[in-house]
Amino acid sequence: MDVKIGVLALQGDVSEHIDAFAAALAACGCEKGSSVVEIRSPGDLDGCAALALPGGESTTISRLIDKNGLYEPIRTFKGGIFATCAGMVLMATHVADPRVHSLGLMDMTVDRNAFGRQKESFEADIPVTGIDGGPFHAIFIRAPVVTAAGTGVRVLAKLDQGVVATERGRYMALAFHPELGGDFRLHERFLKNLGI
């Protein structure tokens, strides 16, 4: 199966997402004829089965989405969306920071930088619903949390501070960075949910 995955390439850890999805496609037996491409303009989304919204700085990414005319194309994108860290913030319907023009694709309230500043970044082994093979080693960098999950949003993982992994239909949103740890089980789950 030929699959094209897009990674929003405006700011953040773009190359890490490209590598992670290439590895996940290979694990799913789809590497031949498939591609992972950078998305910078609406036309770049053509033919994509999925889009990754990477970690980075959510206010900056939000501004660049608007500047590059990508807000409505992402909101109306028919494929899956895999969002990490800042991407989770962008997926929410409610974000306390007015500088973030969120996409409103998942009914949830997200608190930016919920664990503190950069020096409070941490790693933890967390159980995640729906993946086999034991806990997931999660890397949290100035991470958000979901403080309220609404209609149709399934909680996959939580810590004392709040929910750190959610999914709804073709969407998955994570407060941490699975693209950094070499464990691509969540990428694979996401692809399988899309029928890939």
- The catalytically annotated residue of 16, 17, 85, 188 is 85
179 given a catalytic annotation: yes
- The catalytically annotated residue of 48, 179, 187, 188 is 179
177 given a catalytic annotation: yes
167 given a catalytic annotation: no
Measured CA to CA in angstroms, residue 9 lies from 15, 122, 157, 196 at distances of: 9, 25, 27, 23
- The catalytically annotated residue of 17, 48, 167, 177 is 177
Amino acid of residue 192 = K
What is the rounded (10 degree) CA torsion for 54, 60, 121, 37?
20
Please count the helices (runs of H) and the strands (runs of E) in the chain.
5, 12
For residue 77, give the 3-state DSSP assignment.
coil
The catalytic residues are 85, 177, 179
